[in-house]
């Protein structure tokens, strides 16, 4: 008898349904946030689901975002020339974590540490990429994979 394999962060948080609930509620809340609402004023109705698919893949779930939307390079391209501020970044992270609390997303320290680590890393990359109009990520670059205290992807030395 072998050990039970460690679940992915995706499985731990409840899979695609949980991510869709999280992103749908989050973007509903964004509309009422004076700092974030202008950033997302023209988002499409399917934006929350696209973000949920992206997060699913990063957190160890299915590769639907890469398969359907072009992967990591495509996500980076969605942030180009947006000139996001650190204040907007911090507000985005805080609101997403508040929404996770509201919805009862697991709050055990190990899981939340991994999620906060990803949100800090990913949101800081979004700010950096938003200052440019040139995508620094080549098509086909592997999607970052976030786990329990480990990262796999294009940014390791």
Mean pLDDT of 122-148: 81
Cα separation, 97 vs 107, whole angstroms: 10
Confidence band for 156, pLDDT divided at 50, 70 and 90: very low
Mean pLDDT of 114-126: 92
Mean pLDDT of 90-97: 97
**What is the CATH superfamily name and number for domain 9-151?**
Globins (1.10.490.10)
**Residue 131: what pLDDT?**
79
Q: Which of 58, 61, 62 is nearest to 142 (CA)?
A: 58
**Count of Cβ atoms closer than 10 Å to residue 74 Cβ:** 17
Comparing 97 with 76, the larger pLDDT belongs to 97
pLDDT digit string, tens, across residues 16-34: 999 999 999 999 999 999 9
Cα separation, 73 vs 151, whole angstroms: 17
Burial category of 148 from C-beta neighbours within 10 Å (exposed 0-12, middle 13-18, buried 19 and up): middle
Q: Which of 8, 134, 119, 35 is nearest to 81 (CA)?
A: 134
Report field, pTM of the whole predicted structure over 0.85: yes
Residues 6+ apart with CB under 8 A from 41: none
**Residue 157: what pLDDT?**
41
Comparing 155 with 136, the larger pLDDT belongs to 136
pLDDT digit string, tens, across residues 55-64: 999 999 999 9
Residues 6+ apart with CB under 8 A from 79: 126, 129, 130
pLDDT digit string, tens, across residues 39-53: 998 889 999 999 999
Cα separation, 59 vs 81, whole angstroms: 26
- Is residue 107 within 8 A of residue 22, CB to CB? The reply is no
Mean pLDDT of 96-111: 96
User: Nearest-5° angle of CA 105, CA 98, CA 40?
Assistant: 110
């Amino acid at each position: 008898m072998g050990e039970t394999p460690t679940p992915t962060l995706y499985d731990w948080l409840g899979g695609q349904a949980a991510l869709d609930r999280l992103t749908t509620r989050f973007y509903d809340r964004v509309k009422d946030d004076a700092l974030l609402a202008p950033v997302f004023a023209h988002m499409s109705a399917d934006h929350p689901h696209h973000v949920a698919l992206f997060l699913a893949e990063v957190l160890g779930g299915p590769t639907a975002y890469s398969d359907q939307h072009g992967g990591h390079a495509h996500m980076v391209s969605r942030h180009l020339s947006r000139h996001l501020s650190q204040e907007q970044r911090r507000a985005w992270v805080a609101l997403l974590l508040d929404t996770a609390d509201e919805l009862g997303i697991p709050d055990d320290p190990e899981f939340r540490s991994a999620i906060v680590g990803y949100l800090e890393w990913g949101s800081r990359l979004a700010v950096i990429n938003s200052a440019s109009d040139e995508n620094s990520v080549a098509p086909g670059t592997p999607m970052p994979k976030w786990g329990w205290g480990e990262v796999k992807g294009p940014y390791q030395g």
